[in-house]
Copies of this chain bind each other. A is one copy, B any other.
Amino acid sequence: MRLLFVGDTVGNMGVSMLQEYLPKLKRDLKPQITVVNGENATAVGRGISQRVYKQIMSAGADVITLGNHAWNNAEILDFIDQTPNLIRPANYPGPDVPGRGYTIVNVNGKQVAIINLQGLVFMDNLNNPFDTINAILEQVGAKTDYQFIDFHAETTSEKMAIARYLDGRVSALVGTHTHVQTSDYRVLPAGTAFMSDAGMTGPYDSILGMQTDLILKRFITQRPVQFKVAETGSGILSGCVIDLSDRTGLATKIRPILINPDHPYSN
């Protein structure tokens, strides 16, 4: 089983990059399942809309994950409950959280759990991710063959900690949220594939997808600045591809995907 994961899709250019490269990546890498983080996929870089959801699915995604920006476009409330392959972090607190935190996809008779989880350090006060993932794995562990987690978090320590905690219990855990790809992809000792951050997909000439001058203005003035998604220049697509053993459900290999002007696509 091969899984392709693409990190935080930002704005129109992020969606365009998916439309251009997901077909090529799927043709060349032949993943059986493709997961895309879409928490910044609207034109303003915050949240997701039904239109953008459909664009990403049409581009080739099987499941879309989210993160702390999940709720920034209120339109999501209109369709997330009816959309099983759009998942939000499973550890949002409170009663009746819209949507779901994981989904199970049938791939040629094999069951693949795709799980979305969020970290706590320097982020919102969601429920304990260790407890949440334990509860989810109790539900899905026995009835799924593979488990993939998009762990949306800020710090490298929290990402590594939960990956080590789950080593051997899930197929792979890949981080998102910092919008910068890390080079620490590896299969951990007990068989879980890991990478601190998959990186982002969208405008390359930007700061995390946003217009450079506006981010700079915010840092320099510390006064409110309305960020805008960068719309010009070239694009970047970041992610990883993970090979899973049919026998163990664990990982045999993980390697990064990085497409940008400095690393043009080549199969």
Contact = CB atoms under 8 A, between A and B. Distances in A.
Interface string A168-200: 000000000011111110100100000011010
Interface stretch (A50-58, A106-114, A136-144, A153-161): A153-161
Contacts of A222: 92-94, 124-126
A236 to B, nearest CB: 9
A207 B154 contact: no
B207 A164 contact: yes
Interface in A56-82: 70-72
B93 A158 contact: no
Contact of A93 (B196, B208, B220): B220
A183 B182 contact: yes
- Counting every copy of the chain, the complex holds 4
Interface stretch (A20-28, A30-38, A211-219, A241-249): A211-219
Contact of A127 (B128, B186, B219, B258): B128
B216 A183 contact: no
Contacts of A92: 221-223
A264 interface: no
A125 B128 contact: yes
Given A122-B122, A125-B121, A207-B160, A130 B220 contact: yes
B128 A183 contact: no
A219 B130 contact: yes
Contact of A215 (B126, B161, B212, B216): B161
Given A215-B161, A219-B161, A262-B186, A180 B156 contact: yes
Interface of A: 70-72, 92-94, 97, 120-122, 124-128, 130-131, 154-158, 160-162, 164-165, 178-184, 186, 189, 196-197, 199, 205, 207-208, 212, 215-216, 219-224, 256, 258, 262
